[in-house]
Amino acid sequence: MQVKVIDHPLIQHKLTLIRDIRTGTKDFRELLEEIAMLMAYELTRDLPLEEIEVETPVAKCRAKVLAGKKISVVPILRAGLGMVSGVLQLIPAAKVGHIGVYRDPQTLKPVEYYCKLPPDVCEREVIVIDPMLATGGSSVAAIDMLKRGGAKQIKLMCLVAAPEGVKVVNDAHPDVEIYTAAVDECLNDHGYIVPGLGDAGDRIFGTK
């Protein structure tokens, strides 16, 4: 199973709070944004640097800056929207694409309904974001859409993953690195992650 679990104590603490059934919409949103920001810090660890000359009040020196790698952040609607602002706090210049996929509640199969990507997506490193990786159908569909749109370098960032979903994404897209804060036990008969956190979209937007 190819997946990077980001087990930073702050992320794990906030994840526990977000799982809690008693956590209401306002706190859920704030925690998700905070976790997304902390995860983005880990995801961007390998960004290339270059040296420039800078003059401090004391002396001139060579110092490192980001080499200007272009990044695109692509939330899977709707729940992925809850992580966008956290990621953009760290990567404010990133362009934001949107992919609309929902999971049919009966078949659990992904249904694609929207796609708007930056025109130069093929030159960008794409970070796909969605808090939940359950059966993997939605993520695979989103990555398929991105690749059809020309994206070549893709990472998937989620909050909670099921082992079944990790395998499905690994098998369909072995080139895509998956980052998550937790790999949970399994899926239940309704395709929900156990223990998971329930329906992420409903908890973010207060629709249940």
Collapsing DSSP to helix, strand or coil, 196 comes out as: coil
How many Cβ atoms sit within 10 Å of the Cβ of residue 9? 7
Give the residue carrying structure tokens 């994840």. 15
CB of 207 to ligand URA, least distance (A): 11
Q: How far apart are CA 114 and CA 118, in angstroms?
A: 14
How many Cβ atoms sit within 10 Å of the Cβ of residue 37? 18
Tell which one of 6, 32, 72, 135 touches ligand PRP (CB under 6 A): 135
Instruction: Decide if 103 is catalytic.
Output: yes
Instruction: Decide if 107 is catalytic.
Output: yes
Residue 72 contacts ligand PRP per CB under 6 A: no
How long is the chain? Answer: 208
Residue 102 contacts ligand URA per CB under 6 A: no
Q: How far apart are CA 26 and CA 205, in angstroms?
A: 9
* 163: partner contacted, choices ligand URA, ligand PRP, none (Cβ within 5-8 A by kind): none
Collapsing DSSP to helix, strand or coil, 109 comes out as: coil
Residue 132 contacts ligand PRP per CB under 6 A: yes
- Contacts with ligand URA by CB under 6 A lie at 79, 132, 134, 191-193, 196, 199-201
Residues annotated as catalytic are 103, 107, 199, 202
- Contacts with ligand PRP by CB under 6 A lie at 76-79, 102-103, 108, 110, 130-139, 165, 191, 199-201
